[in-house]
Structure 1
Amino acid sequence: MTAISGVEFLIWLLIAASTIAVLAKYLRIPYTVALVLGGLVLSLLRLPFLSPLQPDQRPHWLTPDVIPILFLPALVFEGSVKIQVRDLLCDWAPLLMLANVGVLLATLVTGYLVHWAIGPPILIAMMFGAIISARDPISVLAIFKDLRMNKRLSVIIEGESLLRVF
């Protein structure tokens, strides 16, 4: 993939995301849900501008490590800039409970359920539980914003996410 085709690819993705955003607003569905549905539709269409996503067309620099290196700092920074330290300090107990006990409990429950349902060794099931239980709540926060949920609840979820990253 050349630099021009890479830029062209990103422009097409931005056009697709913008179109999906307009449709989501028109259809009155959450933007994140519309993005998932739009991604599914785009993956089924096999359009020519999506060819860089094919395994044999992928550029050499696009490795699995690039995504966390590029996007994780931006996501953490975006979440930490919007939050007020005063709000975090008011809700320190639920934040610490969710960031520590909540993730540990989710890991254990998920690990045991996977071990019971599918049958891999318990260590593998627990590692799988640890991987999927500590996800970033970006889509949940976007839905909260769309539904105009309580600010305190959003602060607790964003703060828990920030504590989990560090």
Structure 2
Amino acid sequence: MAEYWTIALLGCLSIPYSICASVELSAVKPSVLDGNVSSLPYSQPNHSASSGHHSSEGLSLFVMDYSHVKAPFEIVMWIMLASLAKLGFHLYGRLPAVVPESCLLILVGLLVGGAMYKVWQQPPPVLSTDVFFLFLLPPIVLDAGYFLPIRIFFDNLGSILCYAVLGTFWNVFGIGVSLYGICQVQSFKLSDVSLLQTLLFGSLIAAVDPVAVLSVFEEIHVNEQLHILVFGESLLNDAVTVVLYKLFKAFCKMQVISLEDVLVGISQFFIVGFGGVAVGIFFGLITALTTRFTGKIQVIEPLFVFLYSYLSYLTSEVFHYSGIMA
């Protein structure tokens, strides 16, 4: 019965969002719908009272100004819909047994995004790399690192690094070189694609996200060492692929790549990794020192953990270190 209430609540939350979007769309001028103007109209302040004239507009019992709260309202609604969808999947036990939870969440995103596009009739906003790396990725990494079993992780650190570093390198270069060879076939007419572009694409898809595999491991209570190998590799390979992605992206913007640039890129890979670890250790010590004085005000301890973790990530990004390792 609980799953039906969750589904009904999802629908109820989607209705006001669609209504607000349609109201905002109806307030847009025809020139906006034609693509000539990209901004929405806003209400100008009424200065008639200060000049001694009476306002031509009377008071209203009901006023709706969606544009005033558009950004925070949409963020809260998206988080609420994703949370309720995740809750509904766990309450309704049949779906996760057939389809992985990550696929179900993607399906919900497609449905809600399609409904938004039908209501707005405008191109959706584009997700930039800065938004992903600065706002979406840090809480995911913090969640994975905070609940990481530390003892067994460090006991198997050598094997995890072997899979995460060497295995990811093998995947990236294997995918990139294979795609480059396929593009050189004349029948495909893709000979203008360079090796760096295929390596950049390989760095995007080389990292495997074993969410469905780990969920199955938890259900069948698999061996703890096997679980930490898969989980630890999935955590560290993200750092490797992010570094490779930024490296190949910088190479693609260069007109000429010399041997010195290649050596600097290889050195940068190690500097980025170990620099991120150093920044993480530094802020970890500061967090431990700060929480020593929060015995009587423990309510702010979670805030310190979140802020110092996020500050560690941002500091690593300032120096172009690995924020995931930090």
What's the TM-score, normalizing by structure 1? 0.74
Query: Unaligned stretches of 5+ in structure 1?
Result: none
Which AA in structure 2 matches 1:46?
Answer: M
What is the 5 A alignment of 1:27-66? Answer: 27-29=94-96, 30-46=100-116, 54-55=124-125, 63-66=128-131
Q: 1:139 aligns with which of 211, 216, 220?
A: 211
Which AA in structure 2 matches 1:121?
Answer: S
Q: 2:199 aligns with which of 101, 111, 126?
A: 126
* Aligned residues between the structures: 160
Which AA in structure 2 matches 1:134?
Answer: A
What SS does structure 2 have at the residue aligned with 1:112? helix
* Change in 2 beyond 3 A, CA 1:103/1:15: same
Q: 2:173 aligns with which of 95, 108, 112?
A: 108
Q: Which residue of 1 aligns with 2:143?
A: 78
Counterpart CA distance in 1 for 2:117 and 2:181 is 41
* Change in 2 beyond 3 A, CA 1:22/1:86: closer
* Change in 2 beyond 3 A, CA 1:97/1:140: farther
Which AA in structure 2 matches 1:130?
Answer: S
What's the TM-score, normalizing by structure 2? 0.42
Q: Which residue of 1 aligns with 2:284?
A: none
Bigger helix fraction: 1
Which AA in structure 1 matches 2:102?
Answer: T
* Change in 2 beyond 3 A, CA 1:75/1:138: farther
* Greater RCO structure (CA 8 Å; 6+ sep): 1
The answer on whether the counterparts of 1:32 and 1:142 sit within 8 Å (CA) in structure 2 is no
Deviation at 1:10, TM superposition (A): 2.1
What SS does structure 2 have at the residue aligned with 1:28? helix
Matched, 1:159 2:232: yes
Which AA in structure 2 matches 1:132?
Answer: I
Provide Cα deviations, 1:140-161, integer angstroms capped at 9, x if missing partner: 4663466445233332233224
Which AA in structure 2 matches 1:66?
Answer: V
Provide Cα deviations, 1:100-153, integer angstroms capped at 9, x if missing partner: 110011012211232133442222212221232136x36346634664452333
Identity between Structure 1 and Structure 2 (%):
19
The answer on whether the counterparts of 1:141 and 1:154 sit within 8 Å (CA) in structure 2 is no
Which AA in structure 2 matches 1:143?
Answer: S
Query: Unaligned stretches of 5+ in structure 2?
Result: 1-39, 41-66, 185-192, 240-324
Which AA in structure 2 matches 1:69?
Answer: L
